[in-house]
């Protein structure tokens, strides 16, 4: 049968070859003008091929009729650029098409005609001379070439790729390739191969427009290689999918058969079900947990093990049966031991340590004491996270950390309902299961950096978690059972308190951790950081390096400017690395002196403005709080010829600009009519140096007022005094924050007298004792008191000294009281 088909194809090919040869002999009779048919089907007619197509549009039928009557059955066929155009113009057609000879025409029942044509040659139309239908003037496209080895190689490669394509694709019957077997003409071969080649209408049109057969064969080869590779990938994917489906069906059949066998043998239970039943019965769970687990297990028994719901139930049972419902660690209630651990791990931080010891003392007397919700608030690097770890070590509890920075999804706290794909409990329950006890210490880090999104407000979800009155019955949306969180000691950390929602802040005991003093940094570096780095870097008993105390002080003062000790640790690591390198070269202990520090770290990185050398007119020294600790702030003012304007520079914020306007109004009021002309005939320019650094806040009010009064009255401001306080239009001085950091900044600059609001006197308790003993504090309530002390007017100098002495005496009395309390 196959031989008969092959013979038929050969006879058909011979007939087509004879007709094509006859047409080639008649090429000279192809006229220069032919009627044209615009093709809009997904097909391109190539020369040397015989193909059918359908004609239905009126203008195409008229062109076909013209060809049958006047042009010896010859017609020009050209493709449309857009097949959806019903009435195309010349601009809608490609420039190159095929001259074809009509072999047969048949009418169909829907009044369209099926036309069988033979491609003769390529042609380019140049002009339309028809009125009712297309009649184009044509230029026939012919090429001259020699039959080279390259052409023969290309023909072989195209034939091989066509065979590969036919093996993967079902679009072309394998017997169609018989048309190419005996063709040795490269031009004819390329046209027949192009007609069999897959591709888009644009690619087929590009093949038609390529005249030289070598270039045409290269393009055909590119298309065939691409399509063959895609078909190979598709076949591989189909095979994998088929194998998976067969494997799943096979496993399902075997499991069902195994179940039937077990039923016949006496209904033996599934091993998994049996294990879960034993775990529920033998485990120590609350009654409501057992009831829920048994109900879910009964559902699991009734359904197929391959049902989607079965995996959901298995995962749910795994979660509720592995949660620590009763397991917990015993607290270490030895107060002395806990105090020793806290002192070993941290220097300073008296208030947080005292609060933990208070909690342990209450737990020692009664088990009913509720775990507090502690919130450590302070700048970065002061030891908030490490303090929470020390608390866990002191209490002998397991420690877990959960970062809340950037959290925007409420489900991270409460969990997802089981109806969602891939649902899981919230991170609180996940952490408790991981730790395996119901009374761990959980650190909720960066609680001030949570966000709100369309997925909910995680801060609101934390309200139940962090409320000692509610968290006894916390319900996770996935677990759907109440879980007791009252024995969990939650410790939260934040850099600032104002960004925490008020309702959440109300549930926590806020303990502020201020920035370290230079003395505290020195002891932390010497007792904690350097020994820790030494253990990391060396494992030998030999002494590799020795730190001089002056070197540590130099690194603190000249290479770090921060509230915590992270940058200090980085600089110490850098110095120790260099010392270790030097030790490996020299072979003896390296003594790290201040000179070595300069050699290792280079020039000083902290370049603050120095203290003023002498009193200046219009320049007052203020104090400011920054995230890196306190700093001094110089307010400069000057008079310029003008008409009473105000110039403000130094990148000041809105609040500080308001303080400048208040200070100006108050200065005009205080100076009176005597200086009114000076205000009206001059512009006042106020500048705060370090213009690239943003500054804001009301605490520079008295500093700005002092500078303005100084420039107007031409009285210098004392350079050995720094001040802070908010000013009002009545001249009252209001309290401000960050007193400890501001006083330490003045202390570092060598300024021993600080003016501050009277109501901030209570904040001096937080300042280290050794600093207080070297400082003088002037507490004021009005701007007049500030000017009496700050201005260097000779007539007021004695009165200024008296006020300073009086307030210093008060401070000494208060220091004595506070020291006795300590």
**Left (φ > 0), alpha (ψ -120 to 50) or beta: where does 466 sit?**
alpha
State the Cα–Cα distance between residues 380 and 349, nearest whole angstrom.
Answer: 15
Q: Closest by alpha carbon to 513, among 388, 363, 693, 371?
A: 388
Helices within 210-270 (DSSP H only): 213-264
CB 412 within 8 A of CB 458: yes
Which position has the token pair 């010349």? 90
| Active-site residue flag, 171 | no
| Active-site residue flag, 699 | yes
CB 57 within 8 A of CB 133: no
Say whether 286 counts as a known binding-site residue. Answer: no
Say whether 198 counts as a known binding-site residue. Answer: no
* Inter-CA distances, 384 with 346, 374, 434, 492, 581, Å: 10, 11, 23, 9, 33
Name, in order, each residue with C-beta under 8 angstroms of 699's C-beta and a sequence gap of 6 or more.
622, 623, 624, 625, 724, 725, 726, 736, 737, 738
Q: For residue 97, what are the β-bridge partners?
A: 123
Say whether 384 counts as a known binding-site residue. Answer: yes
Name the active-site residue from 742, 749, 776, 800.
742
**How would you label 152-173 residue by residue, b for 16+ Cβ within 10 Å and e otherwise?**
eebbebbeebbebbbeeeeeee
Say whether 400 counts as a known binding-site residue. Answer: no
Say whether 472 counts as a known binding-site residue. Answer: no
Q: Characterize the bridge pairing of strands 716-717 and 646-649.
A: unpaired
CB 449 within 8 A of CB 404: yes
CB 587 within 8 A of CB 669: no
Q: Closest by alpha carbon to 283, among 251, 235, 317, 310?
A: 317
User: What is the gyration radius of the CA atoms in the chain, in angstroms?
Assistant: 46
Q: Interior CA angle at 731 toward 728 and 735, to 5°?
A: 60
CB 474 within 8 A of CB 412: no
State the Cα–Cα distance between residues 638 and 618, nearest whole angstrom.
Answer: 6
State the Cα–Cα distance between residues 790 and 716, nearest whole angstrom.
Answer: 9
Q: Closest by alpha carbon to 628, among 379, 349, 347?
A: 379
Which position has the token pair 């609350």? 286
Beta strand ranges found along 555-649 (DSSP E): 590-592, 616-617, 619-626, 629-641, 646-649
CA end-to-end span of the chain? 113
Q: Characterize the bridge pairing of strands 682-687 and 629-641.
A: antiparallel
Say whether 143 counts as a known binding-site residue. Answer: no
Beta strand ranges found along 447-563 (DSSP E): 474-475, 482-483, 489-494, 509-512, 545-547
Name the active-site residue from 699, 710, 776, 800.
699
State the Cα–Cα distance between residues 428 and 412, nearest whole angstrom.
Answer: 8
Phi, psi of 613 (to 5 degrees): -75, -30
**How would you label 788-807 residue by residue, b for 16+ Cβ within 10 Å and e otherwise?**
bbbbbeeebeeebeebbeeb
Say whether 645 counts as a known binding-site residue. Answer: no
Dig out the tokens for 343 from the structure: 């002192």
Name, in order, each residue with C-beta under 8 angstroms of 254's C-beta and a sequence gap of 6 or more.
none
State the Cα–Cα distance between residues 387 and 384, nearest whole angstrom.
Answer: 5
State the Cα–Cα distance between residues 215 and 186, nearest whole angstrom.
Answer: 11
Say whether 106 counts as a known binding-site residue. Answer: no
* Inter-CA distances, 796 with 25, 235, 717, 755, Å: 126, 100, 12, 17
Which position has the token pair 């994998």? 240
State the Cα–Cα distance between residues 653 and 8, nearest whole angstrom.
Answer: 94
Name, in order, each residue with C-beta under 8 angstroms of 566's C-beta and a sequence gap of 6 or more.
380, 381
Assign 740 to helix, strand or coil.
helix
Dig out the tokens for 754 from the structure: 């600080």
Indicate the annotated binding residues: 378-385
**Residues forming the annotated binding site for ATP?**
378-385
- Catalytic residue numbers, as ranges: 699, 742
């Amino acid at each position: 049968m196959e031989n008969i088909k092959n013979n038929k194809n050969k006879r058909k090919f011979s007939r087509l070859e004879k007709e094509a040869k006859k047409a080639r002999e008649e090429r000279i009779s192809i006229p220069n003008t032919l009627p044209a048919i615009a093709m809009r089907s997904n097909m391109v007619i190539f020369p040397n091929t015989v193909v059918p197509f359908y004609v239905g549009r009126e203008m195409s039928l008229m062109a076909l009729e013209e060809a049958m009557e006047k042009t010896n059955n010859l017609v020009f066929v050209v493709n449309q650029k857009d097949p959806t155009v019903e009435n195309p113009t010349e601009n809608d057609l490609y420039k190159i098409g095929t001259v074809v000879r009509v072999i047969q025409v048949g009418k169909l029942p829907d009044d369209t005609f099926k036309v069988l044509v033979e491609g003769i040659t390529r042609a380019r139309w140049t002009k339309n001379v028809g009125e009712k239908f297309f009649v184009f003037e044509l230029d026939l496209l012919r090429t001259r070439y020699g039959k080279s080895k390259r052409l023969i190689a290309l023909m072989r490669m195209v034939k091989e790729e066509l065979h590969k394509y036919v093996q993967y694709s079902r679009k072309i019957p394998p017997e169609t390739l018989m048309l190419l077997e005996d063709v040795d003409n490269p031009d004819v071969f390329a046209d027949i191969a192009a007609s069999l080649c897959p591709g888009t209408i644009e690619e087929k049109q590009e093949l038609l427009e390529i005249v030289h057969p070598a270039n045409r064969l290269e393009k055909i080869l590119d298309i065939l290689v691409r399509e063959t590779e895609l078909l190979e990938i598709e076949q591989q994917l189909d095979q994998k999918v088929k194998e998976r489906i067969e494997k799943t069906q096979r496993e399902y059949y075997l499991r069902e058969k195994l179940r039937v066998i077990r039923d016949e043998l006496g209904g033996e239970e599934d091993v998994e079900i049996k294990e879960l039943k034993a775990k529920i019965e033998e485990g120590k769970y609350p009654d409501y947990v057992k009831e829920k687990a048994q109900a879910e297990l009964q559902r699991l028994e009734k359904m197929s093990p391959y049902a989607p719901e079965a995996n959901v139930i298995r995962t749910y049972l795994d979660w509720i049966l592995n949660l620590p419902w009763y397991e917990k660690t015993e607290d270490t209630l030895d107060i002395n031991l806990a105090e020793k651990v806290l002192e070993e791990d941290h220097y300073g931080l008296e208030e947080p340590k005292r609060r933990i010891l208070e909690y342990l003392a209450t737990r020692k007397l009664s088990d009913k004491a509720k775990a507090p919700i502690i919130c450590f608030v302070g700048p970065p690097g002061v030891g908030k996270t490490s303090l929470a770890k020390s608390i866990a070590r002191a209490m002998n509890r397991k420690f877990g950390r959960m970062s809340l920075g950037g959290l925007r999804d409420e489900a991270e706290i409460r969990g997802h309902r089981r109806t969602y794909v891939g649902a899981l409990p919230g991170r609180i329950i996940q952490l408790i299961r991981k730790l395996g006890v119901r009374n761990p210490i959980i650190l909720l880090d960066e609680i001030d950096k949570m966000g709100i999104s369309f997925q909910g407000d995680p801060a609101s979800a934390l309200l139940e978690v962090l409320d000692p009155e509610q968290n006894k019955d916390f319900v996770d949306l996935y677990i759907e059972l109440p879980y007791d969180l009252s024995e969990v000691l939650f410790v939260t950390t934040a850099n600032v308190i104002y960004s925490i929602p008020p309702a959440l802040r109300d549930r926590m005991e806020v303990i502020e951790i201020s920035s370290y003093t230079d003395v505290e940094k020195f002891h932390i570096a010497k007792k904690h950081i350097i020994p820790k780095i030494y253990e990391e870097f060396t494992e030998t008993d030999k002494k590799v390096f020795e730190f001089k105390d002056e070197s540590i002080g130099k690194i603190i003062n000249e290479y770090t400017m921060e509230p915590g000790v992270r940058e200090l640790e980085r600089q110490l690591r850098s110095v120790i690395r260099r010392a270790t390198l030097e030790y490996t070269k020299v072979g003896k202990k390296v003594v790290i002196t201040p000179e070595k520090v300069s050699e290792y770290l280079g020039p000083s990185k902290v370049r603050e403005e120095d203290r003023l050398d002498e009193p200046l007119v219009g320049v007052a020294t203020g104090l400011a709080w920054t995230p890196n600790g306190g700093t001094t702030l110089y307010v400069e003012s000057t008079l310029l010829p003008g008409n009473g304007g105000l110039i403000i520079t130094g990148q000041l914020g809105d609040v500080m600009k308001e303080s400048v306007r208040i200070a100006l109004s108050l200065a005009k009021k205080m100076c009176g009519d005597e200086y009114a002309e000076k205000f009206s005939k001059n512009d006042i320019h106020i500048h705060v140096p370090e213009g690239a650094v943003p500054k804001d806040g009301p605490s520079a009010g008295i500093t700005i007022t002092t500078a303005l009064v100084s420039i107007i009255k031409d009285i210098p401001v004392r350079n050995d005094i720094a001040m802070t306080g908010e000013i009002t239009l009545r001249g009252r001085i209001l309290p401000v924050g960050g007193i400890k950091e501001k006083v330490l900044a003045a202390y570092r600059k060598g300024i021993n007298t600080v003016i501050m609001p009277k109501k901030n006197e209570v904040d001096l308790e937080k300042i280290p004792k050794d600093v207080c003993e070297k400082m003088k504090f002037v507490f004021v309530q009005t701007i007049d008191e500030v000017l009496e002390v700050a201005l260097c007017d000779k007539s007021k100098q004695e009165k200024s000294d008296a006020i300073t002495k009086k307030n210093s005496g008060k401070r000494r009395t208060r220091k004595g009281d506070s020291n006795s309390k300590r």
